[in-house]
A and B are shown apart, each in its own frame.
Chain A
Amino acid sequence: MQHIFEIGGVEHRLWLARSGEGYRLHLDGGEATIALANGRLRIDGVETSIHVAHEGDRLFIHIGGDSHELLYQDPVAHHAAGAGRGSQDVLHAPMPGVVVALSVEEGQAVKEGDILLVIESMKLETAIRAPRDGVIETAHLAVGKSFERDAPLISLAPLEAQA
């Protein structure tokens, strides 16, 4: 199965298969034999010490003196979104802030470009608009609630579920 990780807004696709005691990693750029044990990552026989932490679908990795933040995209949600012109199902916060207005309720149908909610970040108000036509499945935060960057704000019902 293909998996997608996002780094700095860029999607990277990979898949993984068992191979002996370890795994085989398949990327656009090629393949490698990899294994992870006791905080050490081995790639084609070369070991590097790594540190990893998770928070929901966010993944933080320290390796080779650099820290990286990745977002794991759930394959089911991504597939559903992919069926509808590549648009998104879950709208994530572009920066930390507070919800100042919520214009929709769960179950409501919206058109692409409709304002769903207004957030305030860094003393600036920003309208979050619907990326496609759809139905509001979940409004994750009420007015007055604060959130961190990348927190889910609104989920649209997946397209096949609305058929």
Chain B
Amino acid sequence: MIRPISSVLVANRGEIAVRILRSVRKAGLTGVIVHHAVDADTPAVRMADKAVPISGSTPVAAYLDGPQIVAAALAAGADAIHPGYGFLSENAEFARACDAAGIVFIGPRAETIDLMGDKVRARNFVESRGFPVAPSAIEDNDPATFVERARAVGAPLLIKPSAGGGGKGMRIVRDLALLEEEIERGRNEGLRYFGDGRLFAERYVERPRHIEVQVLGDAHGNVVHLFERECSLQRRFQKVVEEAPSPTLPPDERARICEVAAGIARAAGYVGAGTVEFIYGRGEFFFLEMNTRIQVEHPVTEEVTGVDLVSEQLRVAAGEPLGYGQNDLAIGGHAIEVRVYAEDAARGFVPTTGPLLVMIPPSGDGIRIDSGVEQGGAVTAAFDPMIAKLIVHAPSRAEALDKADAALADFVILGCRTNIGYLRRLLRDPDVRAGAIHTGLIGEKPDLAADPVPDDGSLRRVLAAAALSTRAVVDAADVVPALHAAIGGWRN
């Protein structure tokens, strides 16, 4: 069914709003944006053909207000809504509200969002279709056989309280001879912390890697994958560096993991762009979850495949068939994305705020900047402190790392502290260069976060620049004659 779209409302802000509007404009469609007052003077709002103000008790609340946004779309004559990521992007109720109002929701069907949004249902669905999930044993299913079933899962094993969270009561069992003892300890801790001693055991992946696969499906039953991204460099579950392809996945494992992702999307009747996330270690991989939206790190896939994922979302939402198959897609070169944040790595990565007195992004062949702020703007505490995503593309991973380092060095942001220095140290780390990465790497290398002590040469340069840029210092020098000037009678 073809549903032509002529005008798209972007229900988001910042860099992803700019990114979506770029593809909307490329397709020759009208771009509408909603914005809270704090975002009135941002590039996304200036770029849109129409801008509709929205309000809320907080700026975030405005962007979460589905009914207000649907009303804005109707008032502006938009026939589709792109939710971006975050906010309403994985809200099935919002997708239904769009349908009910006769507006195309640019994303999968509401029931797909419901299925993948419920982690237990999603896991059961994936397992029932024969795809790999982490082997596990749930005590509640049959308490009498829990120990046996946990033993059958095999070591290493992670025991968690069913009612748990935050790592409390979690125990790693590497020697199954200690299983019963550890189960008792886990049960006692569960009782102590949560008043609930029921347990859950699953296979523990040592030094796991986070590998995810981009998929695209159309309304005619065609599904393709666009290969994997590796996002193992994370800090507290927040991705810091993403790359495509994965630096160390052997070709046969790449083929398997990508085929499994496409298979899951096909089984779910997936329409639109989505990402299947896996945990990977020692040749094994298990389904983690599926994100039913465009992701922050989608540009690395775009760079290596040459596919504009947002344009594909727009085409698929209008009912067009993909028009190409798996064999038409290939990986070219290596792409790396780093997230430039306003944060102080040396002070425990606390978010910083401040004016963007100067902001000069790097440019050049193979360098892409996705940003929602510009010089003269500011980083405020109202939203996530991301300033920009820097994406580089080069023939090889080593060249991409070098290009990312050079581009970060050229990225001038003055007025608030950023993580640029930290990112440069991280990308130069020998383990990162070697591709020996895992989700715990950043946590294991806290020294990278410390501000390096400048050497005498660089300190001298900084102080020379400071002296010559400070009026009071230059003025004080200018009123005192240089020796030869004094001899010549400088007052005249």
Contacts and interface: CB of A to CB of B under 8 A. Distances in A.
B120 interface: no
B470 A3 contact: yes
Interface stretch (A65-73, A79-87, A101-109, A133-141): A65-73
Interface in B436-492: 451, 454, 456, 458-470, 472-474, 476-478, 480-482, 485
A16 B352 CA distance: 33
Interface string A42-65: 010000101111110001111111
A52 B485 contact: no
B358 interface: yes
A96 interface: yes
B350 interface: yes
A7 B458 CA distance: 12
B101 interface: no
B482 A3 contact: no
Given A29-B460, A148-B353, A67 B418 contact: yes
Contact of B414 (A34, A41, A51): A51
Nearest to B451: A8
Contacts of B360: 51
Contacts of A63: 458, 461-462, 465
**Chain B interface secondary structure, helix, strand, loop or mixed?**
helix
A12 interface: yes
Nearest to B456: A29
Contacts of B354: 148
Contact of B462 (A23, A36, A53, A68): A68
A41 B415 contact: no
Given A17-B477, A18-B477, A52-B414, A32 B460 contact: yes
Contacts of B467: 3, 5, 14, 16, 23, 25, 34
A25 B472 contact: no
Contacts of B481: 18
Given A51-B414, A148-B353, A16 B476 contact: yes
Contacts of B381: 96
A81 to B, nearest CB: 17
B187 to A, nearest CB: 34
A16 B473 contact: yes
B358 A59 contact: no
B472 A72 contact: yes
A41 B465 contact: yes
Interface in A1-45: 1, 3, 5, 7-8, 12, 14-20, 23, 25, 27, 29-30, 32, 34-36, 41, 43
A20 B478 CA distance: 11
A3 B465 contact: no
Interface string B350-388: 101111011010000000000000000000010000000
A34 B470 contact: no
B468 A53 contact: no
A36 B465 contact: yes
Contact of A61 (B420, B456, B465, B472): B465
Contact of A18 (B358, B418, B478): B478
A70 B466 contact: yes
A51 B410 CA distance: 11
**Chain A interface secondary structure, helix, strand, loop or mixed?**
strand
A51 B353 contact: no
B421 interface: yes
A29 B457 CA distance: 10
A29 B454 CA distance: 13
A72 B466 contact: yes
Contacts of B408: 65
B287 to A, nearest CB: 36
Interface in A96-134: 96, 122
A18 B485 contact: yes
Contacts of B424: 65
Contacts of B478: 18
B410 A61 contact: no
A55 B357 contact: yes
A41 B466 CA distance: 10
B355 A48 contact: no
B402 to A, nearest CB: 13
A23 B470 CA distance: 13
B477 A16 contact: yes
B413 interface: yes
Contacts of A34: 464, 467-468
Given A59-B470, A65-B410, A43 B463 contact: no
A9 B472 CA distance: 21
B418 A59 contact: no
Contacts of B239: none
Given A3-B470, A16-B474, A95-B350, A64 B415 contact: no
A5 B463 contact: yes
A149 interface: yes
Nearest to A146: B381
A68 B460 CA distance: 12
A23 to B, nearest CB: 6
19 contacts: A5-B466, A7-B454, A18-B482, A18-B485, A30-B460, A32-B464, A35-B468, A41-B461, A51-B414, A52-B469, A55-B415, A61-B462, A61-B465, A65-B409, A66-B458, A67-B413, A67-B417, A70-B466, A75-B472
Interface of B: 350, 352-355, 357-358, 360, 381, 408-410, 412-415, 417-418, 420-421, 424, 451, 454, 456, 458-470, 472-474, 476-478, 480-482, 485
Question: Nearest 5 pairs between A and B by C-beta?
Answer: A65-B409, A53-B357, A60-B414, A53-B414, A36-B468
Given A41-B468, A53-B358, 16 more contacts: A5-B466, A18-B478, A30-B460, A51-B412, A51-B414, A54-B357, A59-B466, A60-B358, A61-B465, A62-B414, A63-B465, A65-B408, A66-B409, A72-B470, A148-B354, A149-B352
